[in-house]
Amino acid sequence: MKLMTCPINGPRLISEFAYGGEMREMPDPVAVSDAAWADYVFNRNGVPGVKKEWWCHTPSGVWFIAERDTTTDTIQRTYLYQPGARVRAERAA
Amino acid sequence: MRRLPPVAGERIDRSQAVEFAFEGKPLRGYRGDTISSALAASGVRVLGRSFKYHRPRGLLSAAGHDANTLVQVHCGERSVPNVRADVVPVDSGWRVSAVNTRGGLQHDRLAVLDRLSAFLPVGFYYKAFHSKRWFPRWERMFRRLSGLGEVDLRAGRRGTPKRYDFCDVLVIGAGPSGLGAALAAAGRGASVLLVDENPTAGGSGWYARGGATATLEKTAALLAAVRADSRIRLLTSTYAAGYYADHWVALVAPEYLVKVRARSVVIAQGACEQPAVFRGNDLPGVMLASAAQRLLYHHAVASAQRVAVLTANAEGYAAALDALSNGLELAAVLDLRATAGPLSMPAAQELTRRGVAVHYGVTPIEALARAGGDVGGLLFESTAGAAAQPQRIGLDGIWMSVGFAPANALLQQAGARLSYAHAAEQFLPQTLPSGVYACGKVNGVYSFAERLADGGAAGEQAAGRLGFGAEAARGPWVAPLECPTHPFPVFRHPRGGEFVDFDEDLTVKDLENACQEGFDSSELLKRFSTLGMGPSQGKHSNMNALRILGRIRGESLESLGTTTARPMFHPVPLSHLAGRGFEPQRRTALDGEHEALGAVWMPAGNWRRPEYYAVPGQTREQAILAEVGAVRTRVGVIDVGTLGKIEVHGRHAAEFLERVYTARYANLKLGMSRYGLMLDESGVVVDDGVVGRLGVESFYFTTTTGNSATLFREFGRLATWWGLSVGLVNLTGHYCAFNLAGPDSRALLAEHTALDLADEAFPYLGIREGLVAGAPCRIMRVGFVGELGYEIHLPADYAVDVWRALRASGSRFQLQAFGVEAQRMLRLEKGHIIVGQDTDGVTNALEIDVSWALRMDKPFFIGQRSLAILHKQPRRQSLVGFTLAPEAPLRPRESHLVLSAGQIAGRVTSTGWSPTLARCIGLALVTPALAAGQKLRIRIEKGQEVDADIVRPPFYDPQGERQRSTSPGTSAAHAAGQRTSLVSARRRNPLETCSTGASSARGDPAGARLRFEVLSRRERFGCKGPGAEAWLMAAGFAVAPAPNSAQVDAGGVLVARLGIAEFLVESVEGGAERVESARRQLGSALRPADVYPVARADLVIGIGGAHLNLLLRQICSVDFAPGLESCAADFGPVTLTSMIGVGVVAFTRGGCDREPVLTLWVDPSFAHYFWTTLLEVGRDLGAVAVNE
């Protein structure tokens, strides 16, 4: 069984983890067109390559980002999510 | 065939006879015999019948690499099918029989099929089975004719618990190369697990001797060195069944499966010797030379009196010398090659000197059967020397040594790329995945010394990669001096009968026909002919078939490639794969109370809930209607402890809820609650619940039962993603809840609480905190069932006492416990939806008439933008209510179709007989056109149709006056100011009401190899949040600095840091007052705003004893051994992981002078499952349990 390394709890069986989807930026709901919003909601990028994905270590509830090459199914690195600059600017305002 | 006098290195114990029976005939062998060696020693040559033609078959590989020797073993009451006789040690009292015979092995009536073989060509199943009319007959017939052993349907359940194991280097195969690899890796300091599929280690080093004892002595010395090395663990009779990602290998031991996580893997699985393909090569007595050598040297059995060795390599000459030196008569050595190779030459000369005829350029024509069905002669011709005149020799054994196929299945599964090397006539690993190494025959290395060196080099590499010594490099592959494998040992006969696949009865002609029909690639040939799809998965057939295919296509093996042998490498009993079977079930703290009340259980998510309470003399329907009636007229109580129960604290708590739910929460007043509806990004309804405000920055809210775990997880992701400063606390398992509903609920509750329940003080939708029957509770006034109602939420450890207190005084109110079915009807009468029943995976919020809950003017909530788009589009469906005429004789059920002009126009989502309205009511999702009308036509069972009237819900009390009721209740006298509650609830250990378990493992804990102690009573609390660490330190607790570690301070209080910023504090050896005082502060107004309480009603178990690690290896995939070795008396690692399917917190504590003890904290809703399962696992390990 595959191993995945939780940034807090270390390497564990993949069965201790839950997948949370690809990490994607949400478009601004106010500014975006209906078509662009529908694209965000319904379409996913299936092109193989290195993807940033949300993963959760379920016994501890730690969410983190895994960079995974979907061509070879190898997990290249994992790290805790840092909220983007946009969110931080929002908080500061 | 006979037993020889003692042979050096024999692995039988002649002092211990084993009596058994084969096909009803009593026989004897010795301890150390396999079933097939004992049979061979007793002169039994026919061991089975072939799969398709029922030809007599004998030993072929003596290694379990063919299906000839699968047998049925009856032992006492048990009957085990498909036992691999070549490798399973025989035992006294066994009754062994051949599989798939009609009338016994000797007189199998199905042998007639052999004469019909011309009518059963390759692929005939595909041609014969396709007719609808004939298929059932064919199927019945072939089910009877073919197949293997018989499953004993009366067999009892066997415990075959799986285990986890860990090592630095896993070496698969304990032949010379594997032994070399293990010693080299261990020599560098790595921990090594060495496994071999045979009952004894040594591989061909033990039996391929060439008439001498030098290799035996060297192998014995290697084995002694392995046994003396404490870093090497040797497992025999254990085969590696498959390789999975990240060096995870499934090992099949006789009684169980082991899942090994290695850091490096060395594959030294050797090679399977291959048969020559000629007419009659399947006759009993014709066997691989290695099989004969195994019998000779492991079991001191001579497989024949007079043998010919058919060979094409040095190994065959060595086997010929082995025959001579053990007193067998050697009829001839028949070399397929024009001349002996450089390694064979000395042996060839010696054989000639000893008077053995050695023929070169041999073409075997036919092995001839004698009366008993076994081999009696061989017809061959030889091109070298004498004229090409067919010669016939009399014999009773033919040993084939014409080549090998590397056992590279696991290498391929690991992702190795193979290429064909003509210098060795075999596939060799070209590129290997990281951390996987190959050595020995699988790597094209054949001589003893070279294999030992190759293994050593692989072992050094495997250990060096892990930091044990320097990284090691290996030289290039050097081709063997003499090729061990013949390029084409296939000899067609005009009358056929040259077997390629012994499992599936495939001859050369079958493969030719398959190619002719167009199935001429390795993948297609395999599927059409079933080549290599038998129990031995092509071990003896795949290479020969590829060679034949290559000839037919005129292509080389490089370009043909080979098929990948998938797991399992050998057949694995299904019981091994099933293992123990863990099904975690959650139960509320009130589970035992429901059981006592006669609850009939139903599953709800992974919980069990009372569907209704059975009443003697009443039907299910009557009982449910009575429960509904009680709530409408008096007072009822339902356990709703399965709801998701979550707290959110922090600066952005309100904003978080505003984003997650559709309604407004920023303006929610303290002490009030509001309905919460949750959508996904596309506007589809995913969950609902109630959100109550406990403080400016603290909310308590509920989710539906089935969604609680996934939603809580998703909330964590959303909070992280949005960068909100919130603390989420999941109380689902640690809190219990029940809903007291009905006109008398206020009066009943008033008897047990000092809270002012008057409507002005505690209005509808209010939430209050206070004591009920002495326990700290949160009470919400809710209206889900449409009556005055109080939902009481409280720590799970208090729940039983409060429930009992209410029931005790409730008898005067005729308090009725009600189940899920009654609640479904009660809410249906109110028209309240159940998400997931009245909605499905595409039902959006606009379709279910909840516009009052959608605050489209908020800045943002999940699904809001999509609703704005959907709002502009025509509706797809609408949820409507309907009623049937009271006298309607027929009733619809859920999922019955709604029709419009004969077309499907919707479906019923909820329906039932309402006792309150005395008619059938329901909800249906229908087209907007129908929803705008008056009537629905519903198609029910057997095509009947009923008409229903569309009615706008609620069906009952449309103004909602009853749930807003201000009246104190009909039995006001009871509530007239005086509280009658004499109970002061106390906390209970989650196993206190658990009926099963503890008694089964009682005993003296002192000296037990495994001790379980329930420690739930210890004083405990949890906290998290940005200020938690500072607050704990200010309160005088010693806080471990590193994530996932814990320490016990001088006062005996444990502080465990769970992850980075959550803490668990428990009085381990005293300090209960300190812990209790801190817990009280956390629950009071004195709590700092940035410290969030985490309620903990855990099941706590302490586990100690010598077998602790053995236990852990059956219940958890994490290796605790390093932690158990390094833990100290007051300090140790904390592990957050999953055991037997349940999330746990584990803390190891010990030290130099004391045995390590593992403490586990488990969600109390899993307590019953976890404890009973732990006792079951522990029973075999000698566990003794102490429940406080």
Distance separating alpha carbons of residues B554 and B593, to the nearest angstrom: 78
**Average pLDDT in chain B:** 92
- Contact A52/B at CB under 8 A: no
| pLDDT score of B982 | 57
Spatial contact of B712 and A56, defined as CB atoms under 8 Å apart: no
- Contact A18/B at CB under 8 A: yes
Q: Tell if the CB–CB gap between B720 and A81 is shorter than 8 Å.
A: yes
- Complex ipTM value: 0.94
What DSSP character marks residue B1024? E
pLDDT in tens, B819-846: 999 999 999 999 999 999 999 999 999 9
Q: Which residues contact B133 (CB under 8 A, 6 or more apart)?
A: none
Largest Cα span, chain A: 46
Of B286 and B1122, the structure prediction assigns the larger pLDDT to B286
Residues of A in contact with B648 (CB under 8 A): none
Q: Which residues of B touch A (CB under 8 A)?
A: 244-246, 248, 259, 261, 681-682, 712-714, 716-717, 720-723, 730, 860, 864-866, 869, 1043-1044, 1058-1060, 1117-1118, 1135-1138, 1143-1144
Going residue by residue through chain A, which has 93 residues, state the pLDDT in tens, using 9 for 90 and above.
899 999 999 999 999 999 999 999 999 999 999 999 999 999 999 899 999 999 999 999 999 999 999 999 999 999 999 875 445 445 554
Distance from CA of B261 to the nearest CA of A (A): 9
Residue of A nearest to B242 (CA): A1
| pLDDT score of B977 | 47
| pLDDT score of B972 | 45
| pLDDT score of B980 | 55
Peptide bond into B856 cis (omega under 30): no
| pLDDT score of A86 | 46
Q: How do beta strands B192-195 and B232-235 pair?
A: parallel
Q: What's the burial of B397, exposed, middle or buried (CB within 10 Å: 0-12/13-18/19+)?
A: buried
Residues of A in contact with B1118 (CB under 8 A): 12
- Cα atoms found within 13 Å of the Cα of residue B719, Cβ hemisphere only: 23
pTM: 0.92
pLDDT in tens, B187-200: 999 999 999 999 88
Name the residue type at position B457.
A
Q: Tell if the CB–CB gap between B1043 and A56 is shorter than 8 Å.
A: no
Residues of B in contact with A68 (CB under 8 A): none
Exposure letters B684-718 (e unless 16+ CB within 10 A, then b)? bbbbbbbbbbbeebbbbbbbbbbbbbebbbbbbbb
- DSSP letters along B1034-1075, please? HTT----SSTTEEEE-TTSEEEEEETTTEEEEEESSS-HHHH
What residue spans define the domains of chain A?
3-92
How does residue B564 score in pLDDT terms, banded at 50, 70 and 90? Answer: confident
| pLDDT score of B516 | 94
| pLDDT score of B443 | 96
- Here the tokens at position B378 are 């061989």
| pLDDT score of A89 | 47
Q: Is the pLDDT of residue B126 over 70?
A: yes
**Hey, how many other C-beta atoms are within 10 angstroms of the C-beta on B984?**
11
pLDDT in tens, B941-987: 998 999 999 999 999 999 988 988 777 654 444 444 455 555 688 88
Q: What's the burial of B265, exposed, middle or buried (CB within 10 Å: 0-12/13-18/19+)?
A: buried
Distance from CA of B855 to the nearest CA of A (A): 15
Across B122-142, average pLDDT: 77
Distance separating alpha carbons of residues B330 and B307, to the nearest angstrom: 5
Residue B666 Cα to chain centre, angstroms: 46
How does residue B349 score in pLDDT terms, banded at 50, 70 and 90? Answer: very high
Q: Is the pLDDT of residue B1152 over 60?
A: no
Residues of A in contact with B713 (CB under 8 A): 18, 20, 56, 58, 61
Distance separating alpha carbons of residues B622 and B604, to the nearest angstrom: 23
| pLDDT score of B16 | 97
| pLDDT score of A2 | 94
CATH of domain A3-92: 3.30.2270.10
Q: Tell if the CB–CB gap between A1 and B714 is shorter than 8 Å.
A: no
Instruction: Provide the sign of the torsion angle of the four alpha carbons B838, B844, B850, B855, taken in this order.
Output: positive
- Here the tokens at position B978 are 């005086």
Residue of B nearest to A30 (CA): B865
| pLDDT score of B973 | 45
Of B657 and B388, the structure prediction assigns the larger pLDDT to B657
Q: Tell if the CB–CB gap between A38 and B869 is shorter than 8 Å.
A: yes
